[in-house]
Amino acid sequence: MGLIQEFKDFAMKGNVVDMAVGVVIGGAFGKIVTSLVNNIITPLTGILTGGISLEKFTTLIGTREVDGETVDNYLLWGSFLQSIVDFLIVAFAIFIAIKIMNRVREQFESPEEETAPAAPPEDIQLLREIRDALKKG
């Protein structure tokens, strides 16, 4: 089997194609969630914190001279917290989307037919008949 044929077989496997579609949709979904966070959740957080954005929280860790100018170095921990909030929102949104998809899939799948229990083996049937006969006595 040639290298090109092997690659074609690999690329056309269902899992690889599904994963590629998932990555593309995930990228588009990420833009939606980023917009949700930046345009809706961050302003709401600002209202709760008195107009202060998480990204504004910094800590000065030092200064240094560069070309005769003093440059401040900050630890941008507020931006890091904002990234954590973004991640949690994305994770929760994906969790909800998967939960909804699973519920829809369960509704569309045909319910399994309830099968009657199989008849007991012949020896068990014979033992039951003997037991019943002894009870009647």
Q: Which residue has the higher pLDDT, 64 or 113?
A: 64
- pLDDT of 72 over the 70 cut: yes
What is the distance between the alpha carbons of residues 90 and 93, in angstroms, rounded to a whole number?
5
79: how many CB neighbours lie within 10 A of its CB?
Answer: 15
> Helix and strand tally (H, E) in the chain?
5, 2
Query: Cα angle vertex 50, ends 94, 42, to 5°?
Result: 20
Query: What secondary structure does DSSP assign to 9-31, as a single string?
Result: HHHTSHHHHHHHHHHHHHHHHHH
Q: Model's pTM, two decimal places?
A: 0.49
Which numeric CATH code is attached to 3-110?
1.10.1200.120
CA separation for the pair 94, 1 (Å, rounded): 40
Q: What is the pLDDT of residues 3-48, one digit of tens each?
A: 888 877 776 776 777 788 888 888 888 888 788 878 887 788 778 7
Residue 137 DSSP label: -
Measured CA to CA, the distance from residue 90 to residue 86 in angstroms comes to 6
What residue type is assigned to position 3 of the chain? L
3-class secondary-structure state, position 104? helix
What integer is the mean pLDDT of 110-119?
70
